[in-house]
Structure 1
Amino acid sequence: MEKKASKKALGIIFLIVFMDLVGFGMIIPLSTYLAKDLGASPLEIGLLMTIYSLMQFIFSPFWGKLSDRVGRRPILLLSLFGSSLSFLFYAYSTELWMLYASRALAGIFGANISTAMAYIADVTDKDSRSKGMGLIGAAFGMGFVFGPFIGGIFGDIGRSLGTEAPFGLNFSALIASGICFLNFFCAIKILKESLTPEMRQNLPKRSSRVKQISRFVTKPLLGSLLFTTLLSTVAMAHMESTMFLFVKEQFDWSLSFASYGFAYIGLMMVFTQGYLIRKWMPKYGERKLLVIGLIMSVIGMAGISFTTGVWSMLVVQTILALGYGLLNPSLLGSISLSGEANEQGQLMGVNQSMSALGRIIGPAAGGFVYQAIGKTSPYIVAASLFFLALIFIAKNYSKLPNQGLSRK
């Protein structure tokens, strides 16, 4: 019964995260084009991503710590409601500062992923932890498959309804807000609390955000894993903040065609994190998949710089998507398994902060080197960061947890 309850809980949290990321995925391809229409430079487009992550960096440990005390459910509900409001504001944005304000609001309430990770840690045992974390990656992938596709459809519908906000391209953000409101009401009905009273009683003493980060980062193994989160996120943010500009200027791809490419990456991540990771984790364990994922990420990211068209881009993006799809759940599982049971909320909050810090640095840095050095430079820098992360992991390889490996 306990195993069935755990599977049901995982299914519910997957559905909630998936619906939330569909809404999020709907506006990602549109942000570059909306900001450009409002006169933004490549650096300013990168800063649009940075402001979201800056707010998430500030607030994520607070939400993680609060979820350890009041439970995962209320924090997830509050996060979903805040996200829906931010998309509504985005839909009515007619100036660049309004886009920045709406993304800042979204970042403040961006506790859904770290809290969902802590929820999964609550309902899984150590042997199935990494596979459970893979569901978050699968939800990301599916959200980024359906989100851009749905966003493109409603963007066309919005243009047929008018050109003034909330119509035109902004109409997709209005639909995203509606999806998040629906998700919020569904979560009220079906989401149950995962944090038991016994776990709450054993919580560690309160500490400041800086102390939380320094406490985990200064532990040799956890520090290496958290820095790997930081480096890999900075690397991916270099690509995410410049890719639409790159394919537009290099290959003259339209928004809809570029969105199909974005959806393809999501599809490959769904396949990797929803299927391959569940098949390969018992066979190879976290250690090997973490290293394989990093190596493939280095190759795929560097390869973007040498693409000459659709087919070469397809090959390198496949390698990158598969690599990052293996890296992410293996890394999340390793971090969770390296921490104590009564500090999962804080640890996932700190991990999310490292990710947010990477998304503060990455988009601005990617936009800057794109303008200052050249169109292919963000991908060479990103590949170098993945390689540096690989060095961190290689030095601690024997100490990495490997509970996902089947003992049969």
Structure 2
Amino acid sequence: MNTTITGVRRQAALGFIFVTAILDVLSLGVMIPVLPNLVKSFGGGDTAAAADWNVLFATTWGVMQFICSPILGLLSDRFGRRPVILTSIFGLGVDFLFMAFAPNLWWLFIGRIFNGMTAASFSTASAYVADVTTPENRAKGFGLMGAAFGIGFTFGPALGGWLWEFDHRAPFLVCAALALTNWLYGFFVLPESLPPERRQPRFDWRKANPIGSLQLLRHHPGLMGLAGVGFLFQLAHNVLPSVFVLYMGFRYGWSPQTIGLTLMGSGIASILIQAFVVGPAVKRFGERGVLLIGLFAGFLGFSIYAFAPTGLLYLAGLPIFTFSGLIQPGLQGLMTRRVGPNEQGQLQGANAAMMGIASIVGPPLFLIPFAFAVRHDATLQLPGLPILIAAALMLAATLLAYAKAKPAPAPEPQSA
């Protein structure tokens, strides 16, 4: 399994990483409709208090990811993608076991710390995709990752909602089983994608710390502007795991099953976008074009979600918001062209560090206004306030991308 892949095995390797990503995201998707409700049950059923606790949980996870993701990214450049992916997946399984047997909120807190330390499976998988695809086909490869994301969130939330009604511990045990099964699959099947001659010759702690990792973004023309677009997008996207389950339950009175089915519909729409739209759209509009289309669709979709007074009108925004699935393939395609093969892991580590910052800032940015809106709903009548903030961030990302997202050829690998 330590033999690297070459030639015709590259296409098969995409299939391996695709299945790995599906199992990973499926386990995460199961948690979306149930984790906030578990926190709420520990807090005596208080929605506003649950929002406050979720701030602590999500912020702590973001801090750990910010610190550890650059280290894991550079480790993947030095030792290969496979061991980092396997470590991350194993950490996810341990986190779910903590949640399954948690007697109180502090056990959940410990689990989130551990998961945040190892949360690099998807970002390292992105470096894996960059290893085995040509620059011209890279956006399509990232579209495949998006399809895996969609499949996981199609079936995961619906399964989570059903398992929650069966037993409140069942979703966490199922997630642990999925994650550890995923780890076994990767251990026996997943090959290495980065050959020794393309790896970093040594591990440099100056690059592995978060600040050193972010320096990479300054050293390549245009990369910092694209990173800013990615940060604004990730910050806006934090509104989904932070607020939406609580928001849909509070505003529309939806049960976990209904929320799960809604997220399932969103996942199906995402799969259709990734499978049938990304490839032709990149050919027709280029990576910059699909990025701009996706960002503006996200802005419109969030705006509809924020103002929709009924569940039916909320669902009307779903087809528009689905086109935000074009963002990551376009953005990743533009960014990976600007670094060499031996820097793809460091780039994804820097991206994950930016996502960690967004995960630190995002939960209080959205949950505190949501808690305020819930407590003052009788007078304010604006529970969609945090989603309006997300819409504004998406609009800012659209304007920044219009100014900064320029095509660039892939650079030569840099010497360490």
Kept in 1: contact 2:160–2:260 (CA 8 A):
no
In structure 2, C-alpha distance between the alignment counterparts of 1:287 and 1:70, rounded to whole Å:
32
Counterpart code for 1:6: R
Structure 1 residue 43: Cα displacement: 2.4
Aligned: 1:98 with 2:107: yes
Q: Taking every aligned residue pair, what percent have the same amino acid on both sides?
A: 32
Structure 1 unaligned runs (5+)? 159-168, 404-408
1:205 to partner: Cα distance: 5.5
In 2, the alpha carbon distance for the partners of 1:82 and 1:280 equals 36
CA distance in 1, matches of 2:218, 2:314: 36
Greater CA drift, 301-310 or 214-223? 214-223
Match of 2:392 in 1: 384
Name 1:75's counterpart in structure 2. Answer: 84
- Give 1:219 shift: 4.6
Separation in structure 2 between the aligned mates of residue 73 and residue 359 of structure 1, nearest angstrom = 25
How far residue 294 of structure 1 moved from its aligned partner, in angstroms, is 1.0
Deviations 1:306-345 (A, max 9, x none): 21223211121221122x2011111111111122222111
Q: Secondary structure at the match of 2:222?
A: helix
Aligned-partner residue type, residue 400 of structure 1: P
Pick from 27, 31, 52 the counterpart of residue 31 of structure 2: 27
**Equivalence for 2:379:** none
In 2: Cα distance, 1:218 partner to 1:229 partner: 17
Determine the structure 2 residue equivalent to 1:265: 266
Give the Cα separation in 2 of the matches to 1:246 and 1:82: 29
- The 3 A distance-change label for structure 1 pair 29 and 366 is same
Contact persistence 1:120–1:129 (CA under 8 A): yes
1:336 is aligned to 2:340: no
CA drift at 1:220:
4.9
SS at match of 1:308: coil
Superposition pairs for residues 187-226 of structure 1, below 5 Å? 187-200=186-199, 207-208=206-207, 209=209, 210-217=211-218, 219-226=220-227
Does 2:131 correspond to 1:122?
yes
Q: Distance in 1 between matches of 2:300 and 2:408?
A: 25
- Contact 1:293/1:325 (<8 A) preserved: yes
Question: In the superposition, relative to structure 1, how do residues 41 and 330 fare at CA in structure 2: closer, same or farther (>3 Å)?
Answer: same
Tell me: CA distance 1:217–1:319, structure 2 relative to 1, closer, same or farther (3 Å): farther
Does the CA contact (< 8 Å) of 2:282 and 2:289 recur in 1?
A: no
Corresponding residue of 2:243: 242
Distance 1:101 1:346, change over 3 A: same
The alpha carbon displacement at 1:154 in A equals 2.5
TM-fit CA distance, 1:2? 5.8
Partner of 1:185: 184
Partners of 1:44 and 1:261 lie apart in 2 by 25
Shift of 1:270: 1.4
Q: What is the 5 A alignment of 1:126-205? A: 126-158=135-167, 169-200=168-199
- Partner Cα separation in structure 1 for residue 245 and residue 305 of structure 2: 13
Contact 1:20 1:179 in 2 (8 A): yes
TM-score w.r.t. length of structure 1: 0.91
Instruction: Specify the alignment match of 1:304 in structure 2.
Output: 305
1:180–1:340 Cα change, 3 Å: same
Partner of residue 166, structure 1: none
> Does the residue aligned with 2:254 lie in a helix, a strand or coil?
coil
Taking the aligned partners of 1:73 and 1:101, their CA distance within structure 2 comes to: 26
Cα drift, residue 366 of structure 1: 0.3
C-alpha displacement at 1:120, in angstroms? Answer: 0.8
TM-score, length-scaled by structure 2: 0.89
Match of 2:94 in 1: 85
